[in-house]
Amino acid sequence: MRPTSPALVGALALTTAAAVLPLAASAPAAADGVIIGGQPVTVGDSPWVVAVASRGLFGDSRSGQYCGAVVVGRTKVVTAAHCMSREVLGMEGSSVPDLKVIAGRSDLGGDAGREIKVRKVAVNPDYDTATNAGDVAVLTLAQALPAGHVLPMAGKGSSAYEPGTEATVYGWGDTTGNSTYASRLHSANVRVLEDGVCEEAYPGTLDGRYEADSMVCAGRPGGGHDACQGDSGGPLVAHGRVIGLVSWGSGCGEAGRPGVYTRISSFADFVDEA
Ligand code: 4AZ
């Protein structure tokens, strides 16, 4: 739930030191790699993964990236609603003057690919900040991407949602759980988990409440492979389709604390009409 907002970096460092480090001693599965437990990949192999960026708010060094997103139409990109929030940006996403989507840039330190202006922001009106349900927003691009960048969304009832399905999550976010943001795109292999695993882990706390009809639970039984801060809005992919968007979870890569993703199939109408 916490992208790389400048306002939050100091607070994050504090909560990380206070809360994550003592846990690390008893939960060594966390923090063993990238994204968490992933590997570098290129957007050449996954051109539908894009970065959401504002150089004005987040600085130039990582091209202004602060969230991930996925291309579902030539001018249509889907990300998390919380990536467009006042809490993260200090203003509504629609008010950010230099909000861009970056396509074709694996390494945010370089200038490969294109930075495309966001023409319109549509935040799911039913997004619930108490539970995190409905964490989805649609960005309309000012210029079209090639058709080869588009990844279809999984439909309701798709077998890709069956527990045990191998899935891959992508992002430029924290690789350690310690606010170490990646310059290169990473991916991690996770599995779709039974809803009961997340219902038990997240019955309703300050972090949120797991709701199976609008969320997907994914990770590994022992933890170690997960999305983290800065990966928000990026895709969870299975069977060649996007099945989820990085949304929230407690910590990163901890055993018994799976990642929670927006169940994209539940929002097909909103995405199609945005
Ligand atoms: C976040 O703060 C965040 N481990 C994203 C994903 C997860 C936790 C936090 C899942 O953006």
Residue 130 has pLDDT above 90, yes or no: yes
Quick check: is 82 catalytic?
Answer: yes
DSSP code of residue 72: E
**Spelled out in words, what is the top-level CATH class assigned to the domain 47-150?**
mainly beta
Residue 186: strand pairing partners: 40, 171
Task: Kindly give the residue spans of alpha helices, DSSP state H, lying in 85-222.
Answer: 86-89, 195-201
Average pLDDT over residues 56-75: 97
Q: Mapping DSSP to helix (H, G, I), strand (E, B) and coil, where does residue 44 land?
A: coil
| CB 226 less than 6 A from any atom of ligand 1 | yes
What's the CA-to-centroid distance between 232 and ligand 1, angstroms? 6
Quick check: is 107 catalytic?
Answer: no
153 or 29: which carries more pLDDT confidence?
Answer: 153
Share of residues in the chain with pLDDT > 70 (%): 88
For residue 21, the model assigns a pLDDT of 29
| CB 35 less than 6 A from any atom of ligand 1 | no
| CB 135 less than 6 A from any atom of ligand 1 | no
Average pLDDT over residues 65-81: 98
CA–CA distance from 57 to each of 30, 52, 184, 208, 244 (Å)?
A: 29, 12, 20, 27, 27
CA–CA distance from 12 to each of 82, 167, 248, 261, 274 (Å)?
A: 16, 28, 15, 21, 33
In terms of Cα–Cα distance, which of 90, 41, 72 is closest to 243?
A: 72
In terms of Cα–Cα distance, which of 217, 218, 120 is closest to 168?
A: 218
Average pLDDT, the chain: 89
Average pLDDT over residues 257-261: 97
| CB 170 less than 6 A from any atom of ligand 1 | no
For residue 25, the model assigns a pLDDT of 30
Residue 169 has pLDDT above 80, yes or no: yes
DSSP code of residue 254: -
| Active-site residue (options: 107, 135, 174, 231) | 135
**Residue 4 pLDDT level (bands cut at 50, 70, 90):** very low
Average pLDDT over residues 126-145: 97
**Residue 31 pLDDT level (bands cut at 50, 70, 90):** very low
Write the CB contacts of 57 (distance below 8 Å, at least 6 apart in sequence).
Answer: 5, 6, 64, 66, 89, 90, 96
Residue 263 has pLDDT above 50, yes or no: yes
**Residue 35 pLDDT level (bands cut at 50, 70, 90):** confident
Residue 28 has pLDDT above 50, yes or no: no
Torsion of CA 181, 253, 19, 216, to 10 degrees: 100
| CB 234 less than 6 A from any atom of ligand 1 | no
Average pLDDT over residues 17-21: 29
What b/e string do you get for 185-222 counting C-beta neighbours within 10 Å, with b at 16 or more?
A: bbbbebbbbebebbbebbeeeebbbbbeebbbbbbbee
**Residue 205 pLDDT level (bands cut at 50, 70, 90):** confident
Quick check: is 265 catalytic?
Answer: no
Which of 36, 210, 231 to mutate to test ligand 1, by most ligand atoms within 8 A of the CB atom? Answer: 231
| Active-site residue (options: 46, 54, 187, 232) | 232
| CB 232 less than 6 A from any atom of ligand 1 | yes
